[in-house]
Amino acid sequence: MNLSLYQQTKPVGAGNSLVMALSKKTAPTVILHSFELPGPYTGQTQLHTFAGIDNVMWYYQLFESPDGTPTGVVRNYFDVEPNANTYASRDDLYLTADVSDFFVSGPGGGYGMNPAGVDASLVGWNWSLERVGQGTREVGVKYIKTKVVGGVVVDTTNDDTDATGWRPLIDGDYVGPNEEWCIHFYPQLQAVASPTTSNLISATRILTANTTLDNTAIGQSFWLKGAGGYFEVTLPDASTVPDNEPLYFMSDGGSHINVGIKCFAGQTFQWYKNAADLASDTRATRIILGQQEKIAFYKVTIDDSSVRWLMLYGGEEAKLVGDILPSHSKIQHNVVLANGQTLSKTIYVRLWEWVQALEASATVAAGSYDAVDEYDGINYFINHGKYCSVDSSTFKVPTLHAGAASGVGFLRMVDGTTRTVGSLQVDGVPDHQHEGTAGTLPIALFGQGPTPRTKGNYNGQAAGKTDLTSLNGLIVGSTFQLTDKSTYESRPVNFGVYGLIRI
């Protein structure tokens, strides 16, 4: 919604200016919107519209400021409730008898008692009166308002906004020479052409680089489009913003991989990084978003008077970092191929932060990633299922693709004891025997026939099975064939997909 306020601008001290300011009535010391009125100030009335503010009760203050910010001496203040009206406000009017215009002392004296000398600027305003040093005057008891009707000064009522002066009401009470009085003006309403409506989001701003927000960000949406691989946005100091007011963030576009949302120094998000930490009320000072991820926060003050940011929605993707995804497509958001590639720790911040929290068996020291061990005559890269910190700025991801004999083309569940995360399990196909087709092997060709052996006991049966250890690739005649499938025999059944890691 919009809120328009008229403010009279009386002269101020040298170097000072007038600053209009709005706070929510629920947090009157937290100024959310302000505007410096342009000078010079000669008593004229100026209009300013606060646009896109929330539809709540507001607390208005006018500061005489030494630096153009809402600080200094408060010259005017009142509560204002948004509606389909414009509010007009006016500073207190200080008067001195026989010095100020329209104000004379003596019996029969008062303000505007001469029909030829009345203050027309009072018309349209409702006001109350203070006798400086003696407190507020009670209208109808100690003074009465007056106005000119037909060229004659007449008494009028307290709520008459056409009043142009006043006179003392008690017999024997009169205004003394140089006596000081003050008129206090009430805010006045002026109807506007059409009402304004409030929006859930008051404004949208695009951020492309490191930014620290202040309390004017409350209720706004921020479109995060980094110009580099990583940047950070720091939230306002929670002590300067009211409770239960949202901040919205959408990470989309630009060239960034990750963007961090940080708390102001010493403050935290109510955010559980790991289910194991729930009992300890673990919180975070930074939450990292990937592309096309969104999150919203609002600040609360809890029973012990500490402040905290709660999540309104979002953050789900941040909890899934490190997940291994088999996929037919590698064109996905926030993933990298699990092909042993080297990544930057300062760009892929979220994945690297996750890696640092892994158990020791899932990581390997620099230089050991490509270590080779030999099993049954075959060399295996035993650490390709692990993460590796290469140096101070880069790290390697696991190699989970199928390939050479030393590659790992499939994943198996582990129990953390006999099998640990990232550990290699080599080919486990046992020794076994193959059957020959029906027929007879001519003894004359070799001096012997195939000899049944008990080694391996394929499916627990030795009879009729032929050990192929010394007969690899033998073909005899057309009635008997022995085949050793040495090329494909150790390859497990699998299907081809991309191995991806969520970043």
Confidence of residue 430 (pLDDT cuts 50, 70, 90): low
Average per-residue pLDDT in the chain? 81
Residue 372 vs residue 442, higher pLDDT:
372
pLDDT in tens, 269-288: 987 665 554 455 567 889 99
Confidence of residue 197 (pLDDT cuts 50, 70, 90): low
430-453 burial, b at 16+ Cβ within 10 Å, e below that, comes to: eeebbebeeeebeeeeeeeebeee
Measured over the CA atoms of residue 351, residue 352, residue 358 and residue 360, the dihedral's sign is positive
Per the listing, tokens 């009992």 go with: 279
pLDDT in tens, 456-490: 444 444 444 444 444 433 444 443 344 444 555 55
At 473 the pLDDT is 37
Answer whether residue 429 shows pLDDT above 80. Answer: no
pLDDT in tens, 7-46: 989 899 999 999 999 998 878 888 999 999 999 998 888 8
At 495 the pLDDT is 64
- Which of 303, 304, 267, 301 is CA-nearest to residue 287? 267
At 355 the pLDDT is 94
The CA distances from residue 179 to 105, 134, 147, in Å, are 8, 11, 22
Cα–Cα distance for residue pair 400/385, rounded to 1 Å: 7
Answer whether residue 332 shows pLDDT above 80. Answer: yes
Q: Which two tokens stand for residue 380?
A: 């295996």
Confidence of residue 449 (pLDDT cuts 50, 70, 90): very low
At 161 the pLDDT is 87
CB atoms within 10 A of CB 409: 13
At 483 the pLDDT is 44
Percent of the chain with pLDDT over 70: 76
How would DSSP label each residue in 107-129? TT-EES-BTTB--GGGTT--EEE
At 276 the pLDDT is 56
Lowest mean pLDDT among 127-141, 195-209, 332-346: 195-209
At 82 the pLDDT is 63
Cα–Cα distance for residue pair 387/398, rounded to 1 Å: 6
Confidence of residue 185 (pLDDT cuts 50, 70, 90): very high
Lowest mean pLDDT among 24-33, 81-90, 410-419: 410-419
Beta strands in 394-457 (DSSP E): 394-396
Cα–Cα distance for residue pair 274/278, rounded to 1 Å: 7
pLDDT in tens, 35-78: 999 999 988 888 898 887 877 789 999 999 999 999 999 999 99
The CA distances from residue 490 to 132, 383, 387, 473, 486, in Å, are 103, 21, 27, 17, 8
Per the listing, tokens 């935290």 go with: 268
Q: Which two tokens stand for residue 90?
A: 């006016």
Give Rg (Cα) of the chain: 42
At 83 the pLDDT is 61
